[in-house]
Amino acid sequence: MRILILGTGGMAAQHAKHFAAIDGVTVVAGVDVDPGRLEKFNTTHGIPNGFASLDAAIAWGGFDAVANVTPDSIHHATSIAALKAGKHVFCEKPLATDAIKAFEMVDIAEASGLINMVNLTYRNVAQLQKAREIVLSGQIGAVKHVEASYLQSWLVQPAWGDWRTESQWLWRLSTRHGSNGVLGDIGVHILDFASYGSGLDIGHVFARLKTFDKAPGNRIGEYDLDANDSFTMAVDFDNGALGVIHASRWATGHMNELRLRVYGDKGAVEVQHRHDWSKLRVSLGADVATGAWQELDVPAVPTNYQRFAEAVRTGTMQEPSFRHAAELQKVLDLAMVSERERRELPTH
């Protein structure tokens, strides 16, 4: 597979590194509107070709697939252009900025017969994959309750930089600069973590979003700091189970941590994933009576990058697909409506 990396900003380096490490995959080109950034990226990763636009790259045509690492608002137009040119697409999350655009992308992708996947990176967590396997096997019985959280602390600690002065963080706090806040940035991840790990689809959602004052007038330079910083979401799943999902950038002491607990009538699983380690704990069988938990060792699993390459090689779709990401985007859109109208909404 010859892959082109579209957009050479921060996350693109991960795509270049991961795809270059896969046997049978060659990163053949980069695309960026910033010539200096493109040249530096291609030189760093040994990429032979560079283009100022996707149209120019398509006219060249020497690639089979696109890794779409453009800003969120550009995913829609560029992914559609690549699909219409007959190229498989591996798109960064979120698939689009709203569900209408996302489902348009789904329709075009599915009609094309091409491989389409979204890089929901926490699918790479082996402990999440094992937890889902345990749940789907019936070992915890019927799922009754789900808890999921995504906790970040970059608004209260400087480990990733100073958000007050660095544009790479400030834009995430400003709706005018394309941010849907913590809901749009990491909400898609924790929704996927919860629904995938529990093996359940969300049926109804009631959400609250909150933006806290962070500067005088809640503005720094050209950035209005009006995007949401925290959200809570009460959901029920299609099987009748209840769930609580929340995320925040004010989670002091938690640099980047996802947690999932799935409780059934015969047992439970808990996944904790941090930037530096992951754990899976289970309470099953005789341990249920005493409330005991056991930690399981879990082998590594193929990454999204590897599974995309395999899907292209075999012509067989793998998840997470555009359709799955669009369904998640629908929940995110409904959360915004739920906050505005202060009511619970069905997802279908």
Q: Which 3-state string (H, E, C) describes the chain?
A: CEEEEECCCCCHHHHHHHHHCCCCCEEEEEECCCHHHHHHHHHHHCCCEEECCHHHHHHHCCCCEEEECCCHHHHHHHHHHHHHCCCEEEEECCCCCCHHHHHHHHHHHHHHCCCEEEECHHHHCHHHHHHHHHHHCCCCCCEEEEEEEEEECCCCCCCCCCCCCCHHHHHHHCHHHCCCHHHHHCHHHHHHHHHHHHCCCEEEEEEEEECCCCCHHHEECCEECCCCCEEEEEEEECCCCEEEEEEECCCCCCCEEEEEEEEECCCEEEEEEECCCEEEEEECCCHHHHCCCEEECCCCCCCHHHHHHHHHHHCCCCCCEHHHHHHHHHHHHHHHHHHHHCCCEECC
pLDDT digits (tens, 9 = 90+) for 176-223: 988 889 999 899 999 999 999 999 999 999 999 999 999 999 999 999
Locate the domains of the chain by residue range. 2-114, 123-346
- In CATH terms, 2-114 corresponds, of 3.40.50.150, 3.90.1150.10, 1.10.10.10, 3.40.50.720, to 3.40.50.720
pLDDT digits (tens, 9 = 90+) for 103-115: 999 999 999 999 9
Which pLDDT belongs to residue 32? Answer: 97
**Residue 134 pLDDT greater than 90, yes or no:** yes
Mean pLDDT of 322-338: 97
Which pLDDT belongs to residue 71? Answer: 86
pLDDT digits (tens, 9 = 90+) for 14-32: 999 999 999 999 999 999 9
Q: What percent of the chain has pLDDT over 70?
A: 100
Which pLDDT belongs to residue 178? Answer: 80
**Residue 168 pLDDT greater than 90, yes or no:** no
Q: Do domains 2-114 and 123-346 have the same CATH topology?
A: no
| Higher per-residue confidence, 71 vs 208 | 208
Query: Poorest-confidence range of 55-59, 139-143, 178-182, 259-263?
Result: 178-182
Which pLDDT belongs to residue 232? Answer: 98
284 pLDDT band, cuts 50/70/90, is very high
CATH superfamily of 123-346: Dihydrodipicolinate Reductase; domain 2 (3.30.360.10)
Which pLDDT belongs to residue 10? Answer: 81
